[in-house]
Amino acid sequence: MAEVLVYVDHVDGAVRKPTLELLTLARRLGEPVAVHLGPGAGTAAAVLAEHGATRVLAADAPEFAEYLVVPKVDALEAAARAVSPAAVLVPSSAEGKEIAARLALRLESGLITDAVDLEPGDQGPVVTQSVFAAAFTTASRVTHGVPVITVKPNSAAPEAAPAAGTVEELAVSFGPLATGTKVVSRSPRESTGRPELTEAAIVVSGGRGVNGAENFALIEALADSLGAAVGASRAAVDAGWYPHSHQVGQTGKTVSPQLYIAAGISGAIQHRAGMQTSKTIVAINKDAEAPIFELVDYGVVGDLFDVVPALTDEVRAR
């Protein structure tokens, strides 16, 4: 059976959920082979094996941490040349997309970014993308070389499928470009303890209806009761009520959680562009005519200052 390379996104061996989603999707195309770069392969191998990795190709070198993406591209290229995979899957993070683009160039392959689904096809994987502010869904396939595909978080639910997950050392030699851009410093953002917006299974977002930065505490309380991330409409962000890094929409982030709760958000096309592929959508809005109600699974017509605290209490009571 053909092998499919999966680039592992991890922090010191703690594998992030999008990688488990990729392993699940990779199994549709062949046998997943995980590529783990940096420290912690031993720790990561167990979870990678549990989710279907037949092999884990591991390389560790200071270059992966000290320089930007090129050393990782060198390693992934080495893996691709060693394995001749049916496809290479990479998470659609900012770093993942840069790695994938550079890899595709090196392999003289076609690249498809921001996939939301993929299926096997007679002439290679058929990849679904949601384009033009989610107004269209396209199906594409790579026609030249090994398909390099980046996949958006939450495109699949990770499923366990135990496999061998044998760790093998990947031999890498770094090219002249590898040390071209050095990391000078890293300052991790202060953690809120909430999941990352684009990876969260549940997102609770507030809009102009929240009516003030201080009232976002209501949105955060509901989010915390559900273990959710917090999002915001552009109106709320432009008003300075919540940071831009939490903006959902065309000029913000695209989320596709299992559950998206929009409170005090009208449902403008530019907001929809960032959330309409969510599996279940709930809106709380006091205007029964608000456009957001056109795309919801469940709608609550009411004042968010009554509904959100009541919902939070109900969730906490369970």
- Residues binding ligand FAD (CB under 6 A): 207-209, 233-236, 247-252, 264-266, 268, 270-271, 274, 284-287, 290, 303-305
> What percent of the residues of the chain are helix, what percent strand, and what percent coil, each to the nearest 5?
30, 25, 40
User: Which residue lies nearer to ligand FAD by CB, 201 or 268?
Assistant: 268
CB of 136 to ligand FAD, least distance (A): 18
User: Which residue lies nearer to ligand FAD by CB, 140 or 211?
Assistant: 211
Query: Token pair for residue 162?
Result: 């135990």
Asked whether 18 and 91 are in contact (CB, 8 A), the reply is yes
Coil vs helix vs strand at 218: helix
User: Which residue lies nearer to ligand FAD by CB, 91 or 209?
Assistant: 209
Asked whether 141 and 147 are in contact (CB, 8 A), the reply is yes
Burial group, residue 108, by CB count within 10 angstroms (0-12, 13-18, 19+): exposed
CB of 278 to ligand FAD, least distance (A): 14
User: Which residue lies nearer to ligand FAD by CB, 303 or 314?
Assistant: 303
User: Which residue lies nearer to ligand FAD by CB, 141 or 208?
Assistant: 208
CB of 38 to ligand FAD, least distance (A): 33
CB of 214 to ligand FAD, least distance (A): 14
Q: What CA–CA distance (Å, rounded) separates 218 from 4?
A: 44
The upper half-sphere exposure of residue 25, i.e. CA atoms within 13 Å in the direction of its Cβ, equals: 33
CB of 205 to ligand FAD, least distance (A): 8
Element (H, E) at 314: helix 304-317
